[in-house]
Amino acid sequence: MIQTKIADTSYSIRSSWNDVTFLGYCDIIMCHEEPIMNRLSVYTGIEVDVLNKLTYSGIKQLMDYVEFMDSPDDVMGFAYAYESDINIGHEWYGKLENSKQSIAKSKIPLLGAVEVIKQYTDVDISNLPITKTIGQAVFFLTALLNSWKGSNDLPNMRQTVTNWRQVVSDLQCLAHGELLQPMPVEQT
């Protein structure tokens, strides 16, 4: 973290992916298409009206500190792999349905991973570093995706960090389709 002071207010600026929490990372993803000053506000935690009063050199210095956040996919290069004995296919069906709802009501599926992980592990990853949590999020989101698709190759023991963007993209497609609705029970 880099400490800076603007108009008698101190700010802690995140200076590496290890300083970014899981929720902070989701905020970065959600603001990625915003104008530069809005993004800089999210990246630094400094309000836009305060940023607008800075000189160009002050803005440039802040931008240099948080430049890495403009490439959110780069976090995967610093991420820890996640391993678990959990096999979602062997867990209670109610957890799967609750997970579907958590994903469906989230602004982005990656944000829904917070509630999903809480359900399966009782761990709240919200304020943990993204480098330590993105692998876990990908593990659970991939497992859910495979469950919803009816796949037999559910990730279980040695899940490694994969392309989270593809997982999230697939989940977004499912979030707007029939697969997030309760599945009918086949009658025999």
- Domain identity same for 96 and 63: no
pLDDT, greater one: 51 or 78: 51
pTM over 0.75: yes
Quote the pLDDT of residue 166.
60
Q: What is the mean pLDDT of residues 60-82?
A: 88
What's the pLDDT tens digit per position in 140-155?
Answer: 888 887 776 664 444 4
Last residue of a domain, one of 47, 75, 103: 75
- Biggest alpha carbon–alpha carbon distance for the chain: 72
Phi, psi of 177 (to 5 degrees): -120, -175
Confidence of residue 174 (pLDDT cuts 50, 70, 90): very low
pLDDT at 35 over 90: yes
Last residue of a domain, one of 75, 99, 132: 75
Give the C-alpha separation, 127 to 129, whole Å. Answer: 7
Quote the pLDDT of residue 74.
84
- Fill in the DSSP letter of residue 13: E
Quote the pLDDT of residue 88.
77
Last residue of a domain, one of 75, 104, 128: 75
Number of structural domains (the chain) is 2
Answer whether residue 81 is part of any domain.
no
Q: What is the mean pLDDT of residues 17-33?
A: 93
Confidence of residue 178 (pLDDT cuts 50, 70, 90): very low
Task: Report the length, in residues, of the chain.
Answer: 188
Phi, psi of 55 (to 5 degrees): -75, 165
Give the C-alpha separation, 39 to 185, whole Å. Answer: 46
- Domain identity same for 69 and 110: no
Quote the pLDDT of residue 102.
85
- Domain identity same for 100 and 71: no
Hey, which of 31-35, 41-45, 157-161 has the most confident mean pLDDT?
Answer: 41-45
CA 158 to chain centre: 21
Answer whether residue 185 is part of any domain.
no
Q: What is the mean pLDDT of residues 76-104?
A: 82
Q: Which amino acid is at 183?
A: M
- Domain identity same for 134 and 98: yes
Instruction: Give the domain range for residue 172.
Output: 88-180
